Amino acid sequence: MSEQPKVSREMVDDILSAYPEKARKMRAKHIVVKDEGCTTCAIKSNSKTIPGVMTARGCAYAGSKGVVFGPVKDMIHISHGPVGCGYYSWSTRRNLAAGERGVDNFVPFQFTSDFTENDIVYGGDKKLETLIREIKELFPKVKGISIQSECPVGLIGDDIESVARKMSKELDMPIVPVRCEGFRGISQSLGHHIANDAIRDHMIGKKERADVGPYDVALIGDYNIGGDAWATKTILEEMGLTVTNIWTGDGTAEMLQTAHQTKLNLIHCYRSMNYICKHLEEEYGTPWMEFNFFGPTKIEESVLQIAERFDEKIMKKAKAVIAKYKPQMEKVIEQYRPRLEGKKVMLYVGGLRPRHIIGAYEDLGMEVIGTGYEFAHKDDYDRTIPEMGNATVIYDDVTAYEFEEFVKRLKPDLIGSGIKEKYVFEKMAVPFRQMHSWDYSGPYHGYDGFPIFARDMDMAINSPTWALSQAPWKKSAKEV
């Protein structure tokens, strides 16, 4: 292993010196180096991206349609506006769903109102009405429809709320207008909030389940990427809990409508769903707690913390679950740790994983030397800083240039980020895993996920192909 270059403020400042003065000053606030003396590590976040830089962020429509509503499988989500937004985001997130396609599972489909110039000029409300009627006719078992606004809908002032009201009455099912036009806000984060509010206003409390029990819990902020929610559910059910509602991975309209009936809300992705947890607490008194099911250490901690919220019976079962899986997890660690020990990782993902996955890497003896979020807020960074070791760098809305420079200088053994980053770094001969989509793999959550996670990281880092390609900086170093 090559010697580890040092993370320092000087390094960060040197990278930023390439920018014009104003941009340099602005970006400096978004990057911190965590060192011994760092207690607060104030980092600027959730602010507008500087025009002209390459950001990896998405938009409000992505946060609402793609993230929050998309995985509700028995509803149809209309990408309302020009065809591109729906077409290019079609099936990219890997939120798996069980059920019969076209009957009670519409996740693999893409519905769009396909705006043309005519709709922009004369308005698209009539077209929307027709589309909603057609949907009901073609898919009579659909349990609801959401209208996901794309930019032009807001710009031309269409009244989707009144169309939704009218059609909801006519077809007798929930039709949810969502004002998630891409231009709103500064990232997909506002789309999460807008979608949470729409669920609050149009779905929650609209139905009652008859079979309520004392151990009913909701799994909130698990979108079943590569089957994550299924892995999580297995653990919770083995603990003796009943997972009645999942938001929104492999979810249903009814799960949203009956959300007020659960005893405890368990939230995995705090960033995208904290709003609804807070609402359910204020309005219905439902308590909520955060947990982390990445890697055995965090799973064990979380399982015990969750069990503490219930009785002796659940606690006993929780301990039995931990004991049952311990030998399996030890075997995974025994197999992979010698191959991964000491490897350095840099992460850059959306709003939760840059901190939640750290423990899973540490279980394998790896070290996260840099991490950052596309759209996290202050409360996410407050939760991140204690997870990171000293001499690490934390970057908010990192630009393509900055990320490349960090990698060139810090030479991590693995990068975990998204599709926009993947091929840049692989061409630089740096092992890479997609930490949004799990690279067509998964699940990574739970006891089912950890062996897959360990195998995938090993496969990336220790692939013999890396010996066949050379990082450009290594080449130039030799040539000098």
Give the footprint of ligand ICS on this chain (CB under 6 A).
Answer: 63, 67, 93, 188, 223, 225, 269, 271-272, 349-353, 436
Cα–Cα distance, 389 to 367 (Å, whole number): 8
Cβ count near 163 (within 10 Å): 22
Q: Examine the residue annotation and report whether 59 is marked as an active-site residue of this protein.
A: yes
CB 71 to ligand ICS: min, Å:
9
CB 353 to ligand ICS: min, Å:
4
CB 368 to ligand ICS: min, Å:
14
Query: Which residues lie across from 396 on neighbouring strands?
Result: 373
Q: Which is nearer to ligand ICS, 112 or 188 (CB)?
A: 188
| β-pair type (288-290, 264-267) | parallel
Q: Examine the residue annotation and report whether 471 is marked as an active-site residue of this protein.
A: no
Strands (E) across 282-376 are located at 288-290, 344-347, 367-373
Q: Examine the residue annotation and report whether 62 is marked as an active-site residue of this protein.
A: yes
Q: Which is nearer to ligand ICS, 314 or 347 (CB)?
A: 347
Q: Which is nearer to ligand ICS, 168 or 188 (CB)?
A: 188
Q: Which of 59, 253, 318, 454 is catalytic?
A: 59
Select the residue whose beta carbon is closest to ligand ICS and give its number: 350
C-alpha 62: how far from chain center: 11
Q: Which is nearer to ligand ICS, 257 or 272 (CB)?
A: 272
Indicate the Cα dihedral angle 134, 202, 104, 191, nearest 10°. Answer: 90
Kindly state the tokens that stand for 340: 């991964």
Cβ-Cβ contacts under 8 Å for 247 (sequence gap 6 or more): 218, 219, 220, 221, 222, 255, 256, 259, 273, 276
Reference 80, options 91, 94, 72, 69; nearest CA is 69
Q: Which of 30, 80, 93, 433 is catalytic?
A: 93
CB 63 to ligand ICS: min, Å:
6
Q: Which of 192, 279, 355, 433 is catalytic?
A: 192
Q: Which of 62, 253, 277, 429 is catalytic?
A: 62
Q: Examine the residue annotation and report whether 93 is marked as an active-site residue of this protein.
A: yes
Q: Which is nearer to ligand ICS, 317 or 436 (CB)?
A: 436
CB 349 to ligand ICS: min, Å:
4
DSSP-derived 3-state class of residue 150:
coil
CB 250 to ligand ICS: min, Å:
13
| β-pair type (144-149, 216-222) | unpaired
Q: Which is nearer to ligand ICS, 189 or 244 (CB)?
A: 189
CB 342 to ligand ICS: min, Å:
26
Cis peptide before 248 (omega within 30 of 0): yes
Cα–Cα distance, 472 to 429 (Å, whole number): 8
Q: Which is nearer to ligand ICS, 411 or 436 (CB)?
A: 436
Q: Side chain identity at 400, as an amino acid letter?
A: A
Strands laid side by side in the 414-417 sheet? 31-34, 392-396, 367-373, 344-347, 414-417, 432-434
Query: Which residues lie across from 400 on neighbouring strands?
Result: none
Reference 171, options 199, 131, 113, 126; nearest CA is 131
Supply the residues annotated as catalytic. Answer: 59, 62, 93, 192
